[in-house]
Structure formats: C-alpha cells, structure tokens
Structure 1
Amino acid sequence: MSVIRRIAIEEWRLMRRDRVAMLGLALLLLLSAIAAFTAWDQRRGATEQRERHQARVDHEFDAQPDRHPHRMVHHGHFVFRPLSPLAAFDAGIDPYTGHTLFLEGHRQNGANFGDVRESSLLLRFGQLTPAFVLQVLAPLLLVFIGHAVVARERESGTLRVLMAQGLRPGQLVAGKLLALLAVAGLMLLPALLTLAAIALTTQASAGLAFALGLGYAAWLALWALGVVVVSTLARRGRDALMALLAVWTVGVVLLPRLVPELVTASLALPTRFETEIAVSRGLAAMGDSHNPDDPYFNEFRRKTLAKYGVTRVEDLPVNYKGVLGMEGERLTSELFERYTNASFALQEQQLARMQAFSLLSPLIALRSLSMGAAGTDLPAYRRFMEQAEKHRFDLIQALNRMQAEKLTLATDRGSESRISKDHWHGLAAFHFNAEAAGDTLRRTLTMAAVLLAWLAALAGVLAFATRRLQGVMR
C-alpha cells in the first residue's frame, strides 16, 4: 500500500469518527436525493401540463367553425415552451422567463407565467435542485469537513514527527487531498445517478448529461483543492475555517448575486413600457393601409396593379384586402424582429460581461456551463422565442393568403366571406427544435476552460504551499 493511500485511509477514519461531519454528509446526500426526486417530479408534472394545454388549444383552433380568415388572425393561438429533460437537474432561467406565448396578428407578445411571478418570493433565493445543492451546499460541507486536514497536523505537533520519520510534505498533502476528493465524489454520486437516470429514461443527450457530470466534478475538485491549499497555508484549523468561510461567502453567495446587479446598472435594458412606445412609433411611421392617400401603401397598390396588368383593385385575380394584409404583416414583423434582436443582443452583452467575472468567482462559469448543457440558459430561451415568432408569422400569413386566394373583393363581406373550417386543421401545430447537442457543447467550451484554468491555478498554489510547508519544517 502506498504512503499516499495510507494517509488517505487514515484521514477517512478520522472523518468517520467526527459525528458532526458524518451527520452533515448524510444530510447532504439525503437532500440531494430529495432534490433530484422533487425536481424530476416537478418537471414531469410541468411537461404533462404543458402538453395537455397545448393539445387543448390546438384542438380548439382546429374546431373553429366556418368563418372569415381574418377572424382567425385575431382569434390567435397559444404555444407552450417544452421543457428540456435536463431542466430537472438545473432549472436555470426558466422560472424567470415564462413559458406561455400568445400568437396573434399584428402583434408580438412576450412569454408569460414565469414560476417566480406565480410563486413565493423564496423561489428567488434558489430552487431545490441537484444543481443548487452541488453549487452552494456541497462546497460549504467540504469546508467544514476538510478545513483542518493539514492545519491539524501542524497545530497538534504531529507534522514534525511525521517529517522526522521520513514522510515528505508532498505525500502528506496528496494523501489529505485524496481523502477530501473521495468525500467530494460521494457528494457527487446522487447527482451522477440522477443524470444517468435522465439520460436513460428520456430523450436527453447522453453527451450533455456527461458534460454536466464533468462540470460538477471539476467544481467539487476545485473546492477540495482550495480547502487543502488554505489548510496547508494556515497555522491553525480555526484560521483555515474562517478564511474558507469568507471565500465561500464571497464567491458563492455575494458575487453571483451582486454581479448581475452591477451589469444591469452599467448596461440597462429598456423597460417593456419604453419598448412598446418605441414600437408604436415605428408602426405609426410605416403608414396607414386604410388611408388611400398614404404614400407607402399608395405606391404598394400601384405596384400590385402593375404586377397583374390591371388598373383597378376590383379587377385583380386575388383579393386585394388579403394581399394588403400580407404586406402589413410583413412590415410589422420586420419591425418586431428588429426590436427583438436588439433586446436579445443587449442581453447577450450583459451575459458576456457577467461571464467575465468568472475569473473572480468560478461559480459564474459553472452556472453558465450548467444552464447551457441543461438547455435552460438565455440562448435556449431565445431559440424558442425565435421559432415561436416564425411560427406566428407563417400562421398569420397563411390566413392572410387564404383571404387573398379563397375570397374575392366582392365576396369579402357578409355571409359569403366565410370559408370552410377544414382550412384550419393542422395549421396551428407548433414543433420546437432544440439545439443540437454538439452545438451546445461547443457553446459551453469557454466556461469549461475557465473551470479548468481555476483547477490549474489552484494546483499550482497547492504545489507552492507544499514546498512552503517543507521550508517551515526545516
């Protein structure tokens, strides 16, 4: 048996004798199991509920009676954002963004019914998910269990005895680190089992689940390294504990909550009210399709007549009202798209600024990686909103086209203006296409590199602390 392994085994024996440490570890494992079960059950319930509501509104749209196509434009339709299977592991920004979107003509709506708005304010402090347990609670327990692994030897005077017997500082530190890494692995075990269960029982990508497991393994290894570093540098276990608690408070609690506020203050998003005013001004500047003297739509009418070689809208082979509706929807959708893209671009700048602070707090890097792999980050939300908007535009234009092709200008009023309800069947069905797993992994590489850089830096500091320990003993 190697010396390093023997030291690790002896450290495990000491830990097992510490009732407080063992109780804390047992509670953490129990909490991890409860978090995994409740998060999985909540995700399953939310998925079933959204699928049920989606099926109901799809049926209601298909069941609409014979009516004018433009009535269907204003009838609108609901779509519900599907949950990623890995959202059970890390909910990310999903509770804040909303999941229900109303699609209608001439207007682009935002998603509603975010869980934070519908639930207690306590939800803002973190959901009980496996990700939350590993991000916040596991490092704290590692601090309490391992803060004195090396400092205890120096404080009790056994370090000199061990060195006198030929034990090298590197062997001592490596054995202590191995013991703490084993504890971290035990803490990670419930989460790994959860990820394996999700990958095996759902359509979740095994690659993304594996990436999540590696990310959290690096996170706990980082804390194990940090705890041993501080314990090696400190003269007393109490000093190491106070220093590590300060690091945990700043790096895990304060910075991840303070940084978004700082970024928002330096790069603020326009309020919803300000955006609506700007959009209304843009719509007014486009012109009025109901005004025969409007410059833009007067020119559009002239081009349409020239295209079909007629001089009056009554002589067009298509219904001019439907053609006008298609042009109006195209213009308004382009305006909506400009403001939406500008808003998302600003949010992505905020995200980039926030991720820059991962050099101060590796938790910011871990959260970005975790949410990205779980499909619950800003790019995943933007992907849903863009696909839903494309579906809205295609749906409204299909109805406008029906008005243009199925009705004439003469019959576009009264009882003759209705068309068969068969035209609505299947028109409103929405299918969301999630990002390919490979693209998601490539998008999270930067934050993964930050975690690896933290690991490398701490390994270097630990090597320095080990050499310093040798110098102190001489």
Structure 2
Amino acid sequence: MSPLRLIARDELRLMVRNRVALIALGLILILTIVAIATAWTHQRGIADQRARHQAAATAAFEAQPDRHPHRVVHYGHFIFRPLGPLAAFDPGVDAFTGSSMFLEGHRQNTANFGDVRQSSLLVRFGQLTPAFVLQAVAPLLLIFLGYGVVARETERGTLRPLMLQGATRAQIVGGKLLALGGLALLVGLPAMIGLGLIAGQPGALATPIATLALGYATYLALWTVGIVAISALVRRRRDALLALLAVWTVTVVLLPRVAPDIANQAYPLANRLQTDVGIARDLRAMGDSHDPNDPHFAAFKQATLKRYGVSRVEDLPVNYKGVLALEGERLSTELFDRYTTESFAAQAKQTALVDAIGLLSPTIALRSLSMAAAGTDLAGHRRFLDQAEAYRYALVQRLNALEQDAVSYADDTAVDAGADRRKRVDAANWRALPAFTFHAPDGAKLARSALPGLAVVVAWLVAATLVLTIATRRMGAR
C-alpha cells in the first residue's frame, strides 16, 4: 500500500476513534436529510396552495355576471407565482418577495404574502434547506474534523519521523487531504441524492442541476483544501482552529450579513411612500383619463376626431370613453414602468456590489450561484413581475377595447333608468380572456446566470490550492 493511502487510512482511523467527530458527522447527515424532507414538503405544500388559490381566483373572475367592461377592470384578478422544482433545494428570495399579485387597471401592484411576513421572525435568519446546510453548517463540521490533520503532526513532533520513514511532504499532505475529502464527500452526499431526486420531477432541468452539483462540490473541495492548508501553515492545533473559525465567521456569517447593508447604503431604494407620492404627483400632471373633458387630454381628443374625420365624439364609430381608457392606461403604464425600471436599476447595482463583495467570501458567490441556477434570485423575481405586468396590461386593454367596441357612447354616457342594463356586455367575454401562464427560462439560461458565481468559487479553490502547495513545501523546515 502506498504511503499516501496509509496516511489517509490512519487519519480516518483517528477520526473514527473521536466520538465527538462521529456524533457531529451523524448529526449533520441527519440535519441534511431533515432539511431535504422539510424543504421538499414545504415547497410542495406552497405549490399546491398557490395552485388552489389560483384556481379559486380564476373561477371567481370568470363567474362575474354581465356588466360594464370597466367595472371588470376595477374588479381585478389575482395571480400566483409558480415554483420550480429547484426551489425545494434553494428557495432564494421567494420568502421575502411575495408570491401573489393583484392585477387591476390604473395601478401596478407589488407582490404580496411572502413567508417572512406570514411566519416567525426566525425565517429572517435563514430557512433550513439543503443549500443552507451545505453553505454554513458543513464547513464548520469540516473545520472541527480537520483543523489538526497536519498541525497535530507538527505539534507532536511526528512529522519528521514520517518523512524519515520514506513519506514525502506531498504524500503526507495528500493523505490528509484524501481523508478529509472523503468525509466532505460523505457530508455532501445526502444533498446530492436530493438533487438527483429533484431531477426526476416534472419540469426539472438537467443543466442547472448539474451546475448546482458542481458548484457545491467545488465549495466543499475549497474548504477541504483550505483547512489542510491552514493546518499545514501553523505549528499548533489550537492556532489552526482559531484561524479557521475566524475565516468561517468572516466569510460565512459576517460578510453575507453585512454585504446587503453596505449595498443598501451605497444605492438606497426609494421606500413605498416615496414611490406612491411620486406616482400620484406624476399622474396628476398627466391628467384624468376618466374625464373626457380633462384639458390634458384635449389634444388627444382632437387627434382622435381628426383621425376618424368627425367633429364630435358622438359621431365616432367607436365609444370615445373606451378610446380614452385605452390611452389613459397606456400612459399610466408607461409611468409605472419608468418607476419600476428605476427601482430595478438600483437593485441591480446593489446586487452587483454584493457580488463584488463576494470576491472576499466564497459563500456569497456560492449563494449567488445557487439562487441563479434554481431560478429563485432577484432576476427570477423580476421575470415573474415583468410577465405579470405584461399580462395585466394586455388584460386591461382587452377590457378597454371591449368598452370601445361593444358599448355605444350614447349608452355609456346615459343616466336614465335602463342605461345600466344597456351598457353591460355578455359575461362570456370574461371567460374568453386568456389565463396567466408563467414562462420559465430554459436550463441553459439558468446555468449561464450561475457561471459568475461558479467562477469565483473556482478561483478561491485555485488560490487555496496554491497556498496548500506553498505550505507543503515549507513543512518540516522549522
């Protein structure tokens, strides 16, 4: 048997004799399995709940009686964000951003009912998911298992006898690395099995799943190499443990918590009150599309009359109130889109700054990789908002067009006793409106969005390997 394998076997034997290490390893394996089971159950429950609410909202919308189309515009409609299979592995920002939207005319609402607002405050400190276990708990376990793999030999004075017996520095370090790497593989195995089970679910995409597996494997390899490197750099186990705990605290706990606050200070977002006040101010300047005689729409009125070659709105072949509603919705939507674009531009700057800080923390980079591949990052949330807004605008404009074409201007402006009945349209029109369908990105796009985070984690692994190489060459020289 080669010296490398002998050293690896002896190191594993020492770890097995350490009951605390065995208990910790067993606990993290159980924790990972529980995280997979609870996350999967939780996400399936959420998906079923949203499907039921969506069916109920659609049924209520289609059950409206004959009525004026503009009343349907204000009646509104609820839609719910569907979840992909990988949300069970890493739910990302879903717990914070909300899951449903109320769509109505003249307004662009935000998503509501996020888990953080509906659940205990503990949700804010991280959900028990396979991603969280691998990102935060697994490195800590590897530290306590491996902080003394090389430092122990230096401290006890057994390093030189090993080398005198024919073992090279590279073989000694390689054996220690092989032993700790085997434990890291065991730690990550349940999560990888969970990913494999997710791959068999409907809608699962192989490319992002493979990217996730590669990213987390690289992350665990990074910690394995880094632990052995620091253990080889110092002379005492206590110093190795303190150094590794400091690295874990800064990169896994401190920087991921502080980075969003730094980004928010650098690129502050307008709060809800400021946004609502700004929109209300701009809407007043734009005018009231519900008032046909509003001075701000006088030019539009003249242009409409000229286009149809008539001098009065009563002579138009279409209902002018419907024409006005179409134009008013177009203008207000452009205003809402401008505010939304500005908000997302600021959020994009915040995300870029957090990613830049991720150069100092592989955990931040891995988190970015994980959410991007799972489709649960900020880009995934914006994807839902953009599609929801496009659906809202198309829905409202179809109803406005129905008012324009199916209701006469005379009936629409009449105030006699039978006017309300005459301006109603058949309820079959609501049932004919298309349902909201969320179009998820393909696997290649999700995988590409995860590549920057993967590149950072790989760069950290390369740097750790270089440090380990230098430490290996210095072994036994002091």
Task: Tell me the TM-score normalized by structure 1.
Answer: 0.98
Alignment of 1:135-284 (within 5 A): 135-284=135-284
How many angstroms does 1:281 deviate by? 0.9
How many angstroms does 1:130 deviate by? 0.3
The CA deviation string for residues 381-405 of structure 1, in whole angstroms up to 9 with x for no partner, is 0000000000000000000000000
2:147–2:227 Cα contact (<8 Å) kept: yes
* Structure 2 counterpart of 1:459, from 465, 473, 478: 465
1:15–1:22 Cα contact (<8 Å) kept: yes
How many angstroms does 1:358 deviate by? 1.3
1:230–1:244 Cα contact (<8 Å) kept: yes
How many angstroms does 1:6 deviate by? 2.1
2:135–2:363 Cα contact (<8 Å) kept: yes
Unpaired segments of 5 or more residues in structure 2?
413-418
1:199–1:205 Cα contact (<8 Å) kept: yes
Q: Provide the rounded CA distance (Å) in 2 between the counterparts of 1:417 and 1:197.
A: 56
Question: SS in structure 1 opposite 2:78?
Answer: strand
Alignment of 1:96-115 (within 5 A): 96-115=96-115
Letter in 2 for 1:244: L
Q: What's 1:2 paired with?
A: 2
Q: Return structure 1 stretches of 4+ with deviation > 6 angstroms.
A: none
How many angstroms does 1:2 deviate by? 2.7
How many angstroms does 1:295 deviate by? 4.2
Q: Percent identity?
A: 56
Measured at CA, do residues 101 and 291 of structure 1 come closer, stay the same or move farther in structure 2, by a change above 3 Å?
A: closer
How many angstroms does 1:289 deviate by? 3.0
Question: SS in structure 1 opposite 2:317?
Answer: coil
The CA deviation string for residues 74-120 of structure 1, in whole angstroms up to 9 with x for no partner, is 00000001112101001111100001100000001011111011111
Question: SS in structure 2 opposite 1:411?
Answer: helix
1:54–1:79 Cα contact (<8 Å) kept: yes
Task: Tell me the TM-score normalized by structure 2.
Answer: 0.97
Letter in 1 for 2:182: A
The CA deviation string for residues 289-345 of structure 1, in whole angstroms up to 9 with x for no partner, is 355664441111111111111111111111000010000000000000000011011
Question: SS in structure 2 opposite 1:471?
Answer: coil
Question: SS in structure 2 opposite 1:207?
Answer: helix
Q: Provide the rounded CA distance (Å) in 1 between the counterparts of 2:11 and 2:450.
A: 36
Which stretch has the larger CA shift, 325-334 or 441-450?
Answer: 441-450
Which stretch has the larger CA shift, 405-414 or 146-155?
Answer: 405-414
- What is the RMSD computed on CA atoms of the aligned residues? 1.1
Q: Provide the rounded CA distance (Å) in 2 between the counterparts of 1:437 and 1:258.
A: 31
The CA deviation string for residues 235-290 of structure 1, in whole angstroms up to 9 with x for no partner, is 11111111111111111111110111111112110101000111111111112335
Alignment of 1:40-439 (within 5 A): 40-290=40-290, 294-412=294-412, 413-427=419-433, 429-439=435-445
Measured at CA, do residues 103 and 140 of structure 1 come closer, stay the same or move farther in structure 2, by a change above 3 Å?
A: same
2:85–2:201 Cα contact (<8 Å) kept: no
1:369–1:444 Cα contact (<8 Å) kept: yes
Q: Provide the rounded CA distance (Å) in 1 between the counterparts of 2:454 and 2:379.
A: 17
Letter in 2 for 1:273: L
How many angstroms does 1:426 deviate by? 4.0
The CA deviation string for residues 404-451 of structure 1, in whole angstroms up to 9 with x for no partner, is 000110122421000100001141510000112111211221111111
Letter in 1 for 2:342: A
The CA deviation string for residues 142-178 of structure 1, in whole angstroms up to 9 with x for no partner, is 0000000001111111111111112111110011011
Q: What's 1:38 paired with?
A: 38
Q: How many residues align?
A: 472
2:420 matches 1:441: no
How many angstroms does 1:225 deviate by? 0.8
1:24–1:141 Cα contact (<8 Å) kept: yes
Q: Provide the rounded CA distance (Å) in 1 between the counterparts of 2:68 and 2:222.
A: 64
Q: Provide the rounded CA distance (Å) in 2 between the counterparts of 1:293 and 1:14.
A: 87
Unpaired segments of 5 or more residues in structure 1?
none
